[in-house]
Structure 1
Amino acid sequence: GVQPGAAVLVHHGLTGGHLVVSADGRVRGVLGWSDAVLGDPAEDIAGLALSVGSPAAVRAATLAGYGARPCLRGLWLARCDAVIHLAEALDGHGGGPPPATVPLLRTRLRRAWEPILLERVTELRDDGRDDTA
C-alpha cells in the first residue's frame, strides 16, 4: 500500500481524454504521463471524479492503495473546482447566451457531487495522520 505522507507519482493533468474506461464505467488505464510529477494523489482523484464520477474515482483510488483521507481530499477538490469553473462560466457571459462549455461544466459538477458510501461511513480522526494505506 501507499505509505502515509509519501510523495507519489501523479498524472498532473488527468482528464477524460487521458482515460481508458470500460463499457461498465471502470477505469482500465491512464494515458499521457509525460507531465507526471511527484505530488498529492488527491489531484488525480479529483480529475477522475470530474471525468468518470465520484464512485468510480474512489473505486480506482482504493484499488491503487489509497485510503479514506486522500479520496475525500480529492472529492472535495473536484467539487470545489467544478463549482468555481461553472460559476465563472455563467458569470462571464454578460447576459448573453451561456458559453458552449456550460453543459460540460454542469456534467462535471454532477459527476463530482455523486454520493459515495465512504462519506457516510468514515469518521475521520483529527490526529494529523494521512491514512493512505
Structure 2
Amino acid sequence: MKLFAALAIAAVNGQSGAGQQSISCWTGDGETIAEFTANAVEVECSENELCQMTVRKRGGDIEKVMGSCKQDQACKNNEKHNFDFGKECRPEETLDENDAKVVSVCRSCSDSTSEQLTSASFSTDADWKTNLL
C-alpha cells in the first residue's frame, strides 16, 4: 500500500506543467492576422496554461485566427491533431483531388505572447511542425 501511495504521489508531482508559473497570452479572434492583432487582449493565464493559437484556412485563405489560454496538456493534445491524428493542418494545400477547397486547422502551443503571435503567420508544414516549447 505504501508503494502504491508513493507511486501515486510521484505521478502527480511528475505531471507536465506541475508548479509552472502563470504566463500572459493574447486572447481574441479575427478574420485576418491584422484583425486579430488589432483586437487581441493580453491576459494572464491560470497556472498550468499555455498560449494556444489556432489558424483556420479554406483553400489557402485565412478565415479565422484565434488566440487563447489553454490548459497545457489540452493544448498539446490539440497540437497533435496538426499532423499526427487526422492531419488537420494543411497550410500549403489549396485544392483537393476534386478541386474542392481544402480546410486546414493548425494549432500551436507556446509560453510567450511573441511566439504565440509569430505562429499565426506560419505558412508551411515545416513552420507548424516547429516545437515552440
Q: Tell me the TM-score normalized by structure 2.
A: 0.29
Specify which structure has the higher proportion of strand.
Answer: 2
Q: Tell me the TM-score normalized by structure 1.
A: 0.29
Specify which structure has the higher proportion of helix.
Answer: 1
Indicate the structure whose relative CO is greater, using CA pairs within 8 Å and at least 6 residues apart.
1
